[in-house]
């Protein structure tokens, strides 16, 4: 006899909903990063690969890709993510507040603005 409780059904439903929302946000970020990478002169398809896109963002920020290894160190990854977000924002002519709030805290919005907006990429001098 198959007996499922209402809590099991609600739990499965919330799991599907959360997974679907996560997938939608991932697709939005990939599309936005594709455009950002293209503007910066990198192949946009690299945005699909999760670890690779992290290293490319470090390169776009003007740092060595070796610095991207700090993303795997627990506390250093937060500091590096903030620094990379601010530097990527600078490369696209945006300020620190824009970079912190829209590239670090809400990247699915910030990278859409960079990718599809009027911002243009300037290489590190």
* Structure tokens, 35: 């455009």
pLDDT value at residue 114:
95
Instruction: In whole angstroms, give the CA distance from residue 84 to residue 94.
Output: 13
Instruction: In whole angstroms, give the CA distance from residue 72 to residue 52.
Output: 13
Contact assessment for residue 103 and residue 88, using Cβ atoms and an 8 Å cutoff: yes
Chunked into runs of 10 residues, the chain (125 residues) has average pLDDT values of 63 84 94 96 95 95 94 95 96 95 94 95 82
Please name the residues in contact with 41: beta carbons below 8 A apart, sequence gap of 6 or more: 121
Contact assessment for residue 92 and residue 119, using Cβ atoms and an 8 Å cutoff: yes
pLDDT value at residue 13:
78
Instruction: In whole angstroms, give the CA distance from residue 77 to residue 70.
Output: 6
Comparing CA positions, the residue from 52, 34, 51 lying closest to residue 43 is: 34
pLDDT value at residue 12:
72
- Following DSSP, what letter does each residue of 4-56 receive, concatenated? --HHHHHHHHHHHHHHHHHHHHHHHHHHHHHHHHHHTTS-GGGGGSHHHHHHH
DSSP state of 117: S
């Amino acid at each position: 006899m198959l007996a499922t409780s209402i809590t099991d059904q609600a739990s499965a439903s919330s799991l599907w909903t959360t997974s679907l929302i996560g997938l939608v946000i991932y697709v939005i970020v990939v599309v936005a990063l594709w455009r950002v990478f293209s503007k910066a002169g990198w192949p946009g398809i690299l945005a699909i690969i999760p670890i690779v896109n992290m290293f490319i963002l470090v390169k776009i920020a003007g740092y060595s890709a070796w610095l991207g290894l700090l993303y795997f160190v627990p506390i250093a990854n937060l500091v590096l993510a903030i620094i990379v977000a601010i530097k990527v924002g600078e490369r696209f002519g945006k300020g620190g507040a824009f970079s912190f709030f829209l590239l670090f805290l809400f990247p699915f919005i910030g990278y859409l603005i960079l990718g599809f907006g009027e911002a243009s990429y300037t290489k590190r001098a």
